[in-house]
A and B are shown apart, each in its own frame.
Chain A
Amino acid sequence: MYDDAIPRRGAGARERRARRLRGDGRVAALFAAPSLIGLTLFTLFPIVMSLVIAFFRWPAVGARAFTGLGNFATLFADPVFRRTLFNTLLFVVLYLPLNLVVSVGLAVWISPRMKGRKVLRVVFFLPVVTPMVANAVVWRMVYQPGGLIDGSLHAVTGVHAPNFLGEQGWAMFAVVAMSVWQGFGYNMLVFSAALDAIPRQLVEAAQIDGAGPWRQFFRITLPMISPSMFFATTMTLITSFQVFTQPFLLTGGGPGIDTETLMMFVYNQGFSVYQFGLASAAAWILFVLILGVTAVQFAGQRRWVTYDV
């Protein structure tokens, strides 16, 4: 622990240190106070409150009444809610694998030795840090009949593209595609960092043993970056369950309610029809769903995540 330059301290110092440690309480309270107060007020209190509200009929104005599990029963009986639940799961099921495949693929493709590597990384990361609203507005125009895709397709083939955001069967895919475009750059950077950390000898040894590129990828690269995969999968899962801005701005949940997500449902219940009880109950269903999936992730990680070699 000690450097040679620092003389080893004896029992006296240790005692002094112990005295000092006991004396830290008051200072520590002062230092921790802003965060503790803020977190209690703005996170712990609201989370408890939302749990309470979820069991009440709680309109923004007017009488409140305890309903027990009434809100949950109402929700599961509501075809709109069930549809938004389905839409959210569909979004996650499409978005997560696509995001991971694209981000791993590009992270591997942008090899450590190529020219313009840093520029490429910044390019792919750009939409992650620019406002989602701006990205969505741009993509509205890309998807628009006569927009970038339709205009290009028509010029080349003479056929018009479907109205991606307005047609059933296309809208959700359009939302997913835009979301992958916007979001994968983050995971790509995480994977790039993990790839850079793979010892070169490992790859060289495999090559000498005659392993081809695919074999190297599945036997060396993937296991070596599996901790990052675990991190990225977990974070991406959590955030994708909460998807809101993309469908809200691209389709407004349409056509019909084909792309309305759980978070949009919460927003509509809370801030369009002002049923705080129902909104909180729906939010808790979302939260429990996220917790469940995260728990499954953690339980399964031993089977595929390699933490050391």
Chain B
Amino acid sequence: MSDHVHPLPAYPWARRIRVVVSHLALYLVAAVFLSPLVYMVATSLKRADEVFGSPPSLIGSVVRWENYREAFEFLPFGRFVINGLAVAVCGTIVVLVASSMSAYAFSRLRWRGRDGVFLVFLSTLMIPQEVLVVPMFMLMRWFGWVDSYQALIFPWAFTAFGTFMLRQFFLTIPEEIAESARIDGAGAVRVFTRIMLPLVRPALAVLAVFTFINYWNSFLWPLIIINSVDEKATVPLGLQLFFGQQGTQWNLVMAASMISMAPTAALLIILQKHLVRGIATTGLGGR
């Protein structure tokens, strides 16, 4: 707003104070916003009998790092982490390969009916995935995929979003670049792998990170399709189970929550610049 348009030194005193107060208030809001997460960290390091108290305390009589070890031991939480990573990585690869290939076909190759097919493609974006869970479950039964890793990876890997986004990026590459390569004798495959893909690498990276996060966080579908939770659960499903069984051991539950948040939080902090730009330019990201 108006307060922040002029460079700071130009402010008269009264205004400068107002700006400082406004900023301090904002930091206060941020602190309140973060308090549940701080509370989570604090609780995850307490003794079970010190979890509740008034006023809530940051640190108990001891800092109990063992909670994290116990969270890993109580349930096969390590297994859940490995499952989650494997499913998310495989899913991300499938999404990247399929959507970059079709994005190329829909942008820089010419074929009859292309735009019509693309329209059908796009219209599927309107279908909420949640509406598909019942028929998808039946489909998985026919495939014999209930309670399998494939079922966690494939059903949601072919949404039109990645294709749509990458197509937009391919369209920004001047047609002459690919054209001159083809005149020099390069085939469509070579043009795709050697010229087009390297040019959209930033877009691929953003798509990859968000896809990974979506797979990692996914809850409803694993809840439906995975029965042998101890063996095949991903982290959110495992955390829910853990919570169901150990709902009273809040310190361990909070340690498990910390573990489940760590990978995506780390990705966000490391790649913040790219992710923010990705959202700004494509509206892509966590829902």
Residues of A participating in the B interface, judged by any CB pair closer than 8 Å: 2, 6, 16-17, 20-22, 24-25, 27-29, 31-32, 34-36, 38-39, 41-47, 49-50, 53, 106, 108-116, 118, 120-134, 137-142, 144, 146-148, 150-152, 154-156, 181, 186, 189-190, 192-193, 200, 203-204, 207, 212-213, 216-217, 221, 231, 235, 238-239, 241-242, 244-245, 249, 263, 266-267, 270-271, 276, 279-280, 283-284, 286-287, 290-291, 294
Contacts and interface: CB of A to CB of B under 8 A. Distances in A.
B287 A239 contact: yes
A28 B109 contact: yes
A134 B239 contact: yes
Contacts of A121: 272, 276
Contact of B286 (A28, A129, A154): A129
7 contacts: A27-B109, A29-B111, A32-B105, A133-B243, A146-B53, A147-B52, A287-B131
Contacts of A116: 27
Contact of A17 (B5, B52, B179): B179
B249 to A, nearest CB: 11
Nearest to A211: B2
Nearest to B39: A148
Interface residues of B, number: 103
B229 to A, nearest CB: 13
A38 B163 CA distance: 12
A27 B267 CA distance: 36
B250 A141 contact: yes
B130 A242 contact: yes
Contacts of B34: 123
Contacts, number: 299
Interface in B1-32: 1-5, 7-8, 22-23, 26-27, 29-30
Contacts of A120: 26-27, 30
Interface string B102-133: 10111001111010010001001011101111
B283 A190 contact: yes
Interface stretch (B64-72, B199-207, B216-224): B216-224
Contact of A148 (B56, B182, B260): B56
Specify which of B106, B128, B137 lies most central, judged by the most chain A CB atoms within 10 Å of its CB.
Answer: B128
Contacts of A115: 23
Contacts of B131: 47, 50, 283-284, 286-287
A213 B158 contact: no
Interface in B172-188: 176, 179, 182-183, 187-188
Given A138-B257, A238-B128, A245-B220, A35 B158 contact: yes
B134 interface: yes
Contacts of A217: 1
Contact of B102 (A31, A146, A280, A291): A31
Contacts of B137: 270-271
Contacts of B279: 186, 189-190, 193
A56 B192 CA distance: 47
B160 interface: yes
Given A122-B268, A134-B260, A142-B36, A216 B133 contact: no
B176 A6 contact: yes
A195 to B, nearest CB: 10
B217 to A, nearest CB: 4
Given A39-B158, A241-B128, A271-B137, 5 more contacts: A49-B135, A109-B26, A122-B268, A125-B268, A283-B133
B239 A128 contact: no
Contact of B239 (A109, A133, A207, A221): A133
Given A42-B156, A190-B283, A239-B287, A53 B135 contact: yes
B265 interface: yes
A130 B256 CA distance: 13
Contacts of A111: 1, 3-4
Contacts of B99: 35
Q: Which 8 A-B pairs have the closest CB atoms?
A: A38-B158, A193-B280, A155-B55, A35-B102, A111-B4, A146-B52, A46-B135, A31-B105
A126 B268 contact: yes
B124 A44 contact: yes
Contacts of A284: 131
Interface string B238-271: 0110010000001001100100110011011100
Contacts of B235: 131
